[in-house]
Amino acid sequence: MKRAWRYLNPLHWLPRQIGLWLYIAFWLLIYVATQYRAEIKIRQLHQLRRALSEKRAEYLQLNASVSQKRSYSALKPALDSMGLELPKQAPLLISVYE
């Protein structure tokens, strides 16, 4: 009778398979954790790439601004106001022999 009742129970197999279910749950937990870590790393990578592109654009903008301020047309009024002139000839290299 006890044996017949055991097979009428729909979950009679559960006590024998609990180890298998725990093993599967463990590996499922490991899988989810690694996927979560990978997603976090990918988001950080995208964030760093976005920050890098912003810094590069800022660098290019500042470089263009400095280049514009070094041009002849920008230096000429400042030099004229100080009473200086731009040289007409290239500088000479003086060699000293000892």
As a whole-number percent, the residues of the chain with pLDDT over 90 amount to 46
Tens digit of pLDDT for each residue in 51-74?
999 999 999 999 999 988 888 888
Which residue range forms the structural domain that includes residue 48?
42-67
> Is residue 49 situated within a structural domain?
yes
Q: What is the pTM of this model?
A: 0.54
Tokens of 68: 């514009």
The tokens for 13 are: 């197999």
The total number of structural domains that make up the chain: 1
Whether 82 maps to a domain, the answer reads no
pLDDT at residue 81, as a whole number = 87
In a domain, 36, yes or no: no
Which H or E element spans position 37? helix 14-69
Question: Cβ neighbours of residue 68 under 8 Å, at least 6 residues apart?
Answer: 74
CA atoms of 98 and 79, how far apart (whole Å)? 38
- Flag whether 25 is in a domain: no
pLDDT tens-digit readout, 18-40: 888 899 999 999 999 999 999 99
Question: Residue 66, Cα to own-chain centre: how many angstroms?
Answer: 28
